[in-house]
Amino acid sequence: MKRKRPGAEQTAERSRRLRDISGLALCFCGLACLVWLLWRQQAPVPGILVGALRLLAGSGAYVFPCVMMFIGGMMLFGWQRFSLSHASIGSVLAFLTFAAWRHIAGDPSGLPADEASSGLFGSFVGDPQWSTAYVSGAGGYLGAALGWALTGLFGTTASYLFLVMFFLMALVLIVDKPVKDMLMSLKHPASAGARAVRKGVEAVRNGKSREANGKSAPAIKGVAEPGSKGPSLLERIRDQETVTAAGEPRTEGGKSRSRMKALPGLDDSVEDEPVTSTHVPQPFDNPVYPLPPISLLRDAPVVGINKKAKQELEERIQILVKTLDEFGIGANVVEIAHGPTVTRYEVQLAPGIKVARITSLADNLAMALEAINVRVEAPIPGKSAIGVEVPNANAAIVSLKECIESPVFRDSESKLTFALGKDVAGEIKVADLARMPHLLIGGSTNSGKSVCLNSLIASIVFRARPDEVRFLMVDPKRVELTMWEGIPHLVYPVVREVKQAAGILRAAIMEMDKRYDLLAAAGARNIQSYNEKVPEGERMPYLVIVIDELADLMAQAGQEIEGSIERLAHLARATGIHLVIATQRPSVDVITGTIKANIPSRIAFACIQAVDSRTILDRNGAERLIGRGDMLFLPIDAAKPVRIQGCYLSEAETEGIVDYLRSQDSPEYLISPVEENAQSSGGDDSPIDDVLFEKAVRLAVTTGHASASYLQRRLRIGYARSSRLVDIMEQRGIIGPPNGAKPREILITHDEMERLFADGASP
């Protein structure tokens, strides 16, 4: 980070000090004027100022001090959130509008003759509306001048319309917010009020009918009205005049023009209402551990599609059709989808034209369209057309905030749902890690892998508490994942050493085996059915293992790392353990056939060579991506990959999320690295002393719970030691054997426990 020069720091400090002094002066001057207006003062200065204000503004003199205090308060407190210059201009415009309205709305005909010609202007002009007696009680000479000009030029009725327009303009300047957003913010309270009134009327009617019939009517459950669907997808250009930076088209009322398309392996939903809340409303949010607020994330900048851009699209259509015709391919562009990064031209071929002929012309099309790269998707899934994807001149940013606020993300019930970004049609796409069940991410350096990992982690922590989802992070690069150090979702500090990574993966395998023992004891097939059977305090959290750079691990401990990943990927799904592995060297010695066979869901970012794309996706395509978050996503049950512009999470946003999570709770580390010779012997061989054994027995007898996970959480020990404590208590006859999904039976009373420890019981 660059340091500011001393001169720049001094200038900024002087500017801040001057702003504070000016704000204080305006606030106190406005307060003094208001006091002088309300309580007449005999001193000469207040008398002169009050008289001048009444002549200039009339009854608007009471508004003028309020405007001064408002601008002063903006300078003191609100200058970072609002535009000070816009707010000042808007306040003055509102003041003048009020003065003009007071003048036009008044009636000077009732003034006595001597007052109707009072004052210099009243006697000179001969019009009572310019008299001192009238203007001092109406809008002053400022209001008289504006009102006289408006009524003289446009008439009284039109003048009121102009005053309404001026007031709305002042409001927009003060609030510094688009009119569309202001109206949408008023829509929801109005709709809620209307629904409440309608329900009240229906309740009264139902009550009257029940009284008339002498018996109660059955309750009728309300059915939500289906959301309005957008127009046909077959449009020439799917953009609106204004789109977000991520390319999501909008229409009047804030509704999406296009429906959310379903992707295999993805959650989908129809977007029918805009999101205005500042927090992701989730049914599993609780006050004990509040989920992070959306305000920690930033909005994406808004960009517009001007006439020049639309003209360029039309020119490219002509060039595309002409180029194909030069190679003897008859084609017609039937639709255009404008996304955040690329524009897809959907081309229908003439009868008898082979698809392979156009796929081999990608380089020729790129040269004709003067594009960096062109990718041909033949055919588009679900359509009888071929997609020619051309990079946009100005790529837009897809913010994580708008993805998390989208209905497709909010309506997902899975704790492991994460935001991907937007596809070439500008539609938000999310995925569920539990359905994948593991994810492989590959691509060249600076293509967007680490940002994708951070977005994945952030998406999950925005919807899941530490008792629902845990993370185990391995970061040999020591750059990206170390930012998440100290969050309460971690089961172990971020691993940086390769040798330690091998041990922590062995510990993950042991954790998987222990989870299978718990599933077998409860008679459950997977983690979902287990959590439904056991009490809430005994539920098993998901565990997401994130590895940022697989190549470094494979270079130093390839055989051991590959074996651990293979075993976890093959067996860990049912126990709620999922792998997310990223590498910037997608070669066959890093992404081996064994790893690929057990991790079917892949994300490929920009690659240098086609062979790297085939290593990740088993097909070409990633070598034609343009980088900076441009990805091909291939879920487990999809036939072809989907092109998506990944959502962006800045370093400052990540730091804000991490700081919030750290402030809520401290991490509770539950596992530790296991040596290679210790994995078969049971893992944690640290002795169990008398104090720990006594604590475990007292906890079991007092609370009535004696499971390994309960002791692990309450005593803050590893799972291996808690399991051994349970086994010892069972051997001593303190607790009973496992009883399926039911808790173990406590076989001794509190008095028997006291006699047991009085006799010197030890493990």
347-363 pLDDT tens trace: 998 888 888 888 888 88
| 258-262, 575-579, 581-585, range with the lowest pLDDT | 258-262
Place of tokens 């000070």: 84
* Residue 8 pLDDT greater than 50, yes or no: no
Q: 433-664, what's its fold?
A: Rossmann fold (3.40.50)
Q: Which pLDDT score, from 0 to 100, does residue 5 have?
A: 42
Q: Which pLDDT score, from 0 to 100, does residue 99 have?
A: 77
666-688 pLDDT tens trace: 888 888 887 655 444 444 444 55
Q: What is each CA distance from 218 to 91, 196, 203, 207, 221, in whole angstroms?
A: 56, 21, 13, 12, 10
The three-state (H, E, C) secondary structure of 137-197, written as one string: CCCHHHHHHHHHHHHHHHCHHHHHHHHHHHHHHHHHHHHCCCHHHHHHHHHHHHHHHHHHH
User: Would you list the domain boundaries of the chain?
Assistant: 13-176, 235-265+302-396, 433-664, 685-758
Residue 227, class by beta-carbon neighbours within 10 Å (0-12 exposed, 13-18 middle, 19+ buried)? middle
Question: What mean pLDDT, rounded, does the chain reach?
Answer: 76
* Residue 431 pLDDT greater than 60, yes or no: yes
The DSSP call for residue 74 is I
Rounded to 5 degrees, φ, ψ at 256 are -75, 140
Top mean-pLDDT range of 269-273, 592-596, 699-703: 699-703
407-420 pLDDT tens trace: 999 999 899 999 99
The CATH number of the domain covering residues in 685-758: 1.10.10.10
Q: Which pLDDT score, from 0 to 100, does residue 630 have?
A: 92
57-99 pLDDT tens trace: 777 677 778 878 888 887 777 554 455 667 778 778 887 888 7
Q: Which pLDDT score, from 0 to 100, does residue 314 have?
A: 85
Burial readout 713-736 (b: 16 or more C-beta within 10 A, e: otherwise): bbeebbbbbbbbbbebbbeeebbe
The end-to-end CA distance of the chain, in Å, is: 57
* Residue 493 pLDDT greater than 80, yes or no: yes
| 160-169, 302-311, 477-486, 753-762, range with the lowest pLDDT | 302-311
Choose the CATH number for 235-265+302-396 among 2.40.30.10, 3.30.980.40, 3.30.56.10, 3.30.420.40: 3.30.980.40
